Structure formats: C-alpha cells, structure tokens
C-alpha cells in the first residue's frame, strides 16, 4: 500500500469560472424559451443586443488596461452579464437601451473596480437600475402576453419596433400595448400597484385581462421555468441553497402577513412568488458569488434581507418589481453580514 504525501489545505479543486458561467447561462434556457413563447421574439433580440454590447465593452476595457482580451472574454462573465440584463428588458425596448445598460454594467460596475471578482455590486442589476431611473418610460413598456396582443407581430415587426419605434404598418409601441378596449395594459405587479392607488380592492384588480385565476398571464409560466433552471444549478452544485430558499421564504412570509392584515390592500402570496423576476432573481441574480455573502449564515441573512426589501418596495415603493433595487441595497450590506457571520476558527477556544 502506497501513501501520497501532500501539504494542507486538502481541498477539492473548484469549478473553473468559465464552466460556472456556462452552466448558469444554460440553466437560463428554459426561462428564456418560455419568455419568448409568452412575450414574443423581442426577448431574444434584446438578449442578443446586450450580449454583443457587453462583450465588446469588455474587450475594449481589457485592451485599454493592457490585459489579455481573449483570456478575459473566454471566462464568459461578460456574456452572462449581457444575458441576465437582456432577460430583464422589455421585449420592444429601443435598441440603445440594451447598449447603454450593458456598457454601464461592464465598464463602470465591473471593470472600473478591477474586473471579475472585484465588483461590489451585481453588474446586471446595476445596469438595469441605471436604465430604470434614467429611462422609466422605455423600461416599463412591457407588452401583453402574445395571447392578449390585439395587433399581430411578425419577426420583422419586432425588429422594426426595436430599431425604429414603429412596425412596418406604422403601429407604435403604445398601440401594441393597448388591449381590446384601447386601454394600455400593464404587468400584473404594475396592475396591482396602480389599482390599489386608485382605491380598487385586490379582488377587483385580478379581474383584469392580464390575470388568470389570480395569477399573471405569462409571468407564472416564466417563473416556473426559471425555477426549473435554478434546480439544475442546485443539482450541479453551481449555487448553494441558502440564498434562494431564504429569499423565497422571506418573501412568502411577509406577503402572507400583509395579506392576513389587509386582504384587499395587497397582492396574494402566490402572486408575489410567481410574478416579475422573483424566481429569476432567487437562482440567477442573488446567487452571484462575487456580490453576495460568502458564509453559510451570511447567505441565509442576505437572502432573507432581499426578500424583505422586495416586499417592502413592491408594497410601498414606486417600482412594482423591486428586485434590482433590493439586490443592490443588500449588496451594500454584504461586508457587514460577512464580518459578523464568519465561522469559528478551527481549534478556537480549545485548551493546549
């Protein structure tokens, strides 16, 4: 019997960065396909614009910093940033929205801090927030699910609206967003917020066309698809379970409490869990290994904090989805969370 001598620490080799990025991108596929099916091929157009813009911005930054361009691009982090940002954009947003958001995310949020592993904030969410604050009209222009669109759109129509603002027949984005009654349709979370502000009850709000059995049409399927992709990441041990679980439980608990206190003054727990970017955020955004907490206890606190912030902003803030703002606020708390949740040092307190 032979023995192999090796110095400590005896740890397994971690996944390569490029492999992790590829797995996350692949796990997004079910959600992207479902989003494409529910909201049209404009989803793929936005993702393509964001990915190309992010990769070009990364290459230019590396060239200016004197770093090996090919090596940095091949870690696929820029590709993933563009993919995650593109998923968040309205399908018919102007083309320059994706370009500005991707360039901002790569140059100022990632490369300005030193590149991959040095950024304080989640690049995709920082890019999304700067777009939402700067161009609120374009960023809130979500179209109804394809089943509710009154003006049929071809691939060329999607391309035309993204790059010119109008279809070949001259229809504008506002006309496309209008329902049969001529009223512009909003997302489920926007409908709840707007309806409550107008004095409607929750039961009256969910009678709108954008809801089906109390759930958002299209959005329920999209969230379930991203949930399935998240399960794949968990099974492959690309992400850990603490953040997604604590986030979803936290959001569920606070929405249940609010619903118990004021049934007609808040959305249902199931609506909160299956609308907007809830499941997408739980598995693909919050779990960013750079900007999230790095300790097991810290991950639980970080996820719970994000769930609380999402609920508070949805319920009392001016932005209906709230995920991006919650993530960035929680990112600022990560150093403090990690400081107080460091595991006990091996051998600490033992007698010699």
Residue 88's pLDDT is: 93
Residue spans of the chain under pLDDT 50:
5-11, 13-14, 180-182, 350-352
Residues 219 and 289 in one domain: yes
Residues 132 and 211 in one domain: no
Joined tokens for residue 113 = 């801090």
Residues 67 and 202 in one domain: no
- Domain contains 163: yes
Residues 155 and 170 in one domain: yes
Domain total for the chain? 2
Residue 352's pLDDT is: 44
Residues 95 and 38 in one domain: yes
By three-state DSSP, how is residue 166 classified?
strand
- Domain contains 347: no
Q: What residue numbers bound the domain in which 259 lies?
A: 187-338
Residues 114 and 254 in one domain: no
- Which contacts qualify for 52-59: CB closer than 8 Å, 24 or more apart? 52/82, 53/82, 53/98, 53/99, 53/102, 53/103, 54/78, 54/79, 54/81, 54/82, 54/85, 54/102, 54/103, 54/105, 54/106, 55/79, 55/82, 57/102, 57/103, 57/106, 57/107, 58/106, 58/110, 58/111
Residue 280's pLDDT is: 94
Residue 177's pLDDT is: 79
């Amino acid at each position: 019997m032979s023995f192999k001598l090796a110095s400590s620490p005896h740890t397994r080799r971690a996944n390569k960065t490029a492999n992790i990025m590829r797995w996350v991108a692949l796990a997004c596929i079910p959600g992207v396909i479902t989003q494409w099916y529910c909201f049209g091929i404009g989803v793929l157009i936005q993702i393509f614009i964001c990915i190309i813009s992010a990769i070009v911005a990364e290459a230019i930054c590396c060239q200016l910093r004197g770093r090996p361009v090919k090596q940095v691009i091949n870690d696929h982090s820029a590709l993933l940033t563009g993919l995650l940002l593109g998923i968040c954009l309205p399908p018919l947003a102007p083309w320059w929205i994706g370009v500005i958001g991707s360039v901002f995310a790569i140059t100022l949020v990632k490369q300005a801090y030193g590149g991959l592993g040095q950024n304080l904030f989640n690049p995709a969410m920082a890019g999304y927030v700067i777009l939402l604050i700067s161009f609120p009209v374009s960023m809130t222009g979500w179209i109804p699910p394809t089943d509710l669109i009154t003006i049929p759109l071809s691939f060329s129509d999607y391309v035309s609206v993204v790059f010119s603002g109008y279809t070949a027949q001259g229809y504008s984005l506002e006309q496309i967003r209008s329902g049969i009654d001529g009223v512009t349709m909003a997302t489920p979370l926007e409908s709840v917020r707007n309806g409550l502000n107008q004095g409607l009850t929750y039961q009256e709000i969910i009678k709108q066309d954008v809801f089906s059995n109390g759930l958002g049409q299209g959005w329920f399927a999209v969230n379930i698809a991203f949930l399935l992709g998240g399960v794949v990441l968990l099974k492959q041990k690309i992400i850990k379970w603490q953040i997604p679980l604590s986030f979803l439980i936290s959001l569920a608990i606070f929405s249940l409490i609010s619903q118990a206190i004021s049934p007609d003054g808040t959305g249902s727990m199931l609506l909160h869990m299956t609308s907007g970017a809830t499941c997408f955020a739980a598995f693909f955004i919050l779990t960013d290994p750079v900007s999230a907490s790095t300790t097991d206890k810290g991950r639980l606190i970080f996820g719970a904090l994000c769930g609380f912030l999402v609920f508070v902003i949805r319920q009392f803030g001016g932005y209906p989805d709230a995920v991006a703002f919650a993530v960035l606020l929680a990112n600022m708390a990560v150093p403090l969370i990690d400081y107080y949740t460091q595991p006990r040092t091996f051998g600490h307190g033992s007698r010699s």
